Every structure is written in structure tokens, then in C-alpha cells.
């Protein structure tokens, strides 16, 4: 569905460095990383909103930069809240936008308008942050796209609305012909719905795996300060000390279960936190 190879983009204070990954048909991929790590730059480069300095992007087997207009008919994307034409109503914005898509699906559009409880007579500027996100999602989901690229799609939503969106994502890929790539800071969302996870740090992909393989690769360990020595520190991906001792992340193959340290299965948030710890 999506192939990204050696994508590079350089700014005065930041560089996207040879970003590569693949997303097969019928799956959901979560894209995580700290603020400024390169998530949005990567997504915009895939869509050619930001022109990369080098690299290749293929969608449905075609080069994006050579077939951009054609391929964007098959891409549903959302890059933040809908903050354009704020003085216009939802109805008037839709009347313009749908003319750009040859596969615009009025039935699907009406379905999502009702599902998200959007009032077509409301102006964009009158919508709350959460409703702007839902409107942007409605646009992305209403023209029979095959690949969906979302930047922070659950941002600003309450827990119930987030749960509804994640369930919707899982339904979208059920037929095996559609895929979703979305960035998020809410790693618990990925625990619920992602099949693959990529982790970007300082413009480089440092983890790229199925979600289950990634979580099953590590232990979250804890011990007393007396247990913390140079040998253990060298084995851990990252750690932090507290008043009672320390906690850290370690690969299972480097960990001795027969010792005195406590260990448990980490979640994605644990993995992201410890990969960003300075005490490595």
C-alpha cells in the first residue's frame, strides 16, 4: 500500500534522515515520537506538501511525486484541525470540496455527519477543537480512499469520542483493502488498534516493528539503588532513578530472570519514555 524509502529533508535546525518503512494493505500503523521528532514532516513529505530533498514514496505501486494528482484521489488525509474558511458553514465548505473528488460518496458523508453529530449549518469557526477534528475526519472518509494518513486524529477528543474513532479505524481496514497511518502522542490509542508501530527520534526511525513484537521484546524492570551498577546500566535501553531505587527498560535477551530485580511487560508509553531518557 505505502512504501517510503530513504526520505530526507533538511532544515536549519532539523533534519529528516533516511526515513524508510512499509505499510501493507489492511493494516493500521501508528507513528510515535516526541514533539519535533519529525512525525509531521514525514507525513507532509509523503503527501508532497513538503518537498523532500531526496527519497522515494510509492502508494499503490506508483511514485507519488510523478502521479500526485491521481493518487490523492485515493488518499484520505487529515493534518490537524479543520481551521480553513472559518466564516463558512460546513455545508458550504463541503459543496466546494466534494467537486475535487471523482469518487465522492454522499452516502458516506451523510453517515459520518450523523455519526459525529455535526451541524452542517454551523460555521467552521464556531466548532470546538474536537468537532473540528471530527469534521476533518469526515472529509477524509467521504471519498472512498484506500490509504488514510492522519496527524494526531484523536487530539482534542474526549475519551468516549476517542474510543469511537479507534473502533472506526478498525472497521475501515476490515476488508483488507485499506490501510491507515496515523501519528499520535496518545500511545494508549496504539495499544488498542495498531498493528505496526514506528518510532522516530531526532529525524531518524529507531524502531519499526509489529506492535506485539515490539512490546514482547522488552521488560520493564525495577530494583533498589544497590542493584544499579555499570554492567546493568550498559544493558538497559534507558532508566530513571527515584527515591526508592530505579526503573528501566531492557531487552529480554539481556535480562537475567534469576536475579532479584522485578520485571513486567511494558506498554508502548513505557518504551517511548525510556528510549527518550537522557540517562542511557
3-state helix, strand, coil in the chain (%, to 5): 35, 30, 35
Is 269 found in the same domain as 138?
no
In-domain check, residue 280: no
- Residue 191's CATH number: 3.40.50.300
What global pTM score does this model have? 0.88
Query: What's the average model confidence in pLDDT over 150-173?
Result: 87
Contacts of 169 (CB under 8 A, 6+ apart): 28, 180, 182, 193
Q: Over the chain, what is the mean pLDDT?
A: 90
Q: If you ran DSSP here, which 8-state letter would residue 151 be given?
A: E
Distance, CA of 176 to CA of 152 (rounded, Å): 23
Sign of the four-CA dihedral 69, 75, 80, 82: positive
Grouping H, G, I as helix, E, B as strand and the rest as coil, residue 255 is coil
Is 24 found in the same domain as 136?
yes
Residue where a domain terminates, one of 167, 183, 213: 213
Distance, CA of 270 to CA of 108 (rounded, Å): 38
In-domain check, residue 80: yes
pLDDT of residue 82: 65
Query: What's the average model confidence in pLDDT over 128-132?
Result: 85
Q: HSE of 59 in the Cβ direction (CA atoms, 13 Å)?
A: 26
Q: HSE of 107 in the Cβ direction (CA atoms, 13 Å)?
A: 2
Q: Which residue in this structure is represented by grid cell 474510543?
A: 163
The domain total for the chain is 2
The whole domain housing 268 covers: 217-275
Amino acid at each position: 500500500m505505502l512504501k517510503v524509502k530513504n526520505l530526507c529533508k533538511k532544515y536549519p535546525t532539523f533534519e529528516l534522515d533516511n526515513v524508510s518503512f512499509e505499510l501493507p494493505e489492511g493494516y493500521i500503523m501508528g507513528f510515535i515520537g516526541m514533539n519535533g521528532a519529525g512525525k509531521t514532516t514525514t507525513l507532509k513529505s509523503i503527501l508532497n506538501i513538503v518537498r523532500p530533498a531526496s527519497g522515494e514514496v510509492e502508494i499503490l505501486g506508483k511514485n507519488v511525486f510523478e502521479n500526485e494528482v491521481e493518487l490523492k484521489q485515493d488518499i484520505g488525509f487529515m493534518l490537524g484541525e479543520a481551521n480553513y474558511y472559518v466564516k463558512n458553514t460546513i455545508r458550504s465548505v463541503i459543496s466546494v470540496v466534494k467537486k475535487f473528488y471523482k469518487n465522492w460518496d454522499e452516502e458516506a458523508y451523510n453517515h459520518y455527519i450523523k455519526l459525529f453529530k455535526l451541524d452542517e449549518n454551523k460555521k467552521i469557526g464556531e466548532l470546538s477543537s474536537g468537532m473540528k477534528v471530527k469534521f476533518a475526519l469526515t472529509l477524509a472518509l467521504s471519498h472512498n480512499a484506500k490509504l488514510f494518513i492522519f496527524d494526531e486524529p484523536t487530539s482534542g477528543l474526549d475519551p468516549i469520542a476517542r474510543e469511537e474513532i479507534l473502533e472506526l479505524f478498525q472497521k475501515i481496514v476490515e476488508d483488507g483493502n485499506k490501510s491507515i497511518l496515523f501519528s499520535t502522542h496518545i500511545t494508549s490509542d496504539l495499544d488498542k488498534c495498531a498493528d505496526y508501530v514506528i518510532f522516530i527520534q531526532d529525524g531518524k526511525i529507531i524502531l519499526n516493528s509489529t506492535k506485539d513484537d515490539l512490546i514482547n521484546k522488552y521488560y520493564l524492570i525495577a530494583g533498589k539503588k544497590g542493584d544499579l551498577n555499570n554492567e546493568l546500566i550498559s544493558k538497559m535501553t534507558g532508566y530513571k532513578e527515584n527515591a526508592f531505587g530505579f526503573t528501566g527498560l531492557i531487552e529480554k535477551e539481556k535480562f537475567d530472570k534469576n536475579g532479584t530485580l522485578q520485571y513486567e511487560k511494558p506498554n508502548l508509553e513505557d518504551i517511548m519514555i525510556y528510549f527518550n531518557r537522557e540517562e542511557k
